[in-house]
Each structure stands twice: as structure tokens, then as C-alpha cells.
Amino acid sequence: MKNLIHAELLKLRTTRMIYGLALAALALVPISAISAIAAAGRSGGGPALSTTEGIRNVMTASSSGALSVLVIGILIMAGEFRHNTATSTFLISPNRGRVVGAKLATSALVGAALALISSVLTLAVALPWLATKHIVSTSSATTSGWFCLAASQR
């Protein structure tokens, strides 16, 4: 199984579309965080940053690239048929259950890595910006925002 997971990761490293989709997903994170902070407290823009809902809106920016990550998962599971590598994969490992398990494990690894990077990116953008707006990180609203950030990554 370990060799199948390594083979799936190698396939991902050699597919250019994955890099573009991952960059698109990660590029949406700071844009979403900045727009949530800029629109907070304005009429029609969302709740103020001093409220729990305002912090939640900012922290959920890390999930803004979810559609791109979904497409990455689809490419992992079905990309072999497009690139005509399914035949060689199933000749090497005829047990389809193990192949699908390796693809699922690879998808979980890639998804977890992208979720971690987008969470760190959200914090890197949001914390300094919130500090300039005098939103204290020890407030209960910000603490609940961290929990919202963790929950948005599930």
C-alpha cells in the first residue's frame, strides 16, 4: 500500500494542473480574508469585527478555495482515464480496492496539506490586519474565531 501511495504522489507531482489548482485555491484565501475584513461593519458588508460573527467571517476565509480542492480530488480519482494510465496502474496492482484506497489516502494527504497551508495563510493575513484595527487576540470573539477556523477545515 505504501508503494501505491508513493506512486499516486508521483503522479500528482508530474501533473501540471494540480499545481495550478492548488495555487488558485491558496490565492483565494488572502483575497477572501482581506475582503471580509474590509467589508466588516459596513452596511450590507457583514457584522463588525468586534463580534463573534465578524471574526468567524474572517477566519472562514481559509475555506474559500474549497472548489479548487474538490477539483483536485476529482482529478486524483479520475485523472488516470484521461491520461490513459489506468491500464498500467491496474496491471501493476490488479486489486482495485488497494488502488482506490491509495487514491483516497493520497487525496487525504493533499487535502490536509492544503488545509494547513490555507489556515496558516489566513492567520498570516488576518492577525496583523486585525491588530491594526485594535481587535485584541485574547478576546472571546477571537477565541471563538479560532474554533471556527478549525471547524471550517473539516
94-141 pLDDT, tens digit per residue, is: 888 999 999 999 999 999 999 999 989 988 888 888 888 777 655 444
Tell me the C-alpha distance between 9 and 140, whole Å: 41
Indicate the number of domains in the chain.
1
Maximum C-alpha span of the chain: 61
Q: What is the pLDDT of residue 150?
A: 56
Tell me the C-alpha distance between 94 and 98, whole Å: 9
Task: Provide mean pLDDT across the span 75-97.
Answer: 85
The conformation of residue 136, written as its DSSP 8-state character, comes to -
What's the domain range around 120?
Answer: 2-152
Task: Provide mean pLDDT across the span 89-95.
Answer: 86
> What is the DSSP track for 66-133?
HHHHHHHHHHHHHHHHHHT-HHHHHHH---HHHHHHHHHHHHHHHHHHHHHHHHHHHHHHHHHHHHHT
Q: What is the pLDDT of residue 113?
A: 93
32 with 82: CB under 8 angstroms?
Answer: no
Q: What is the pLDDT of residues 18-57, one digit of tens each?
A: 999 999 999 999 898 888 888 887 777 777 777 788 888 8
Q: What is the pLDDT of residue 139?
A: 46
pTM: 0.77
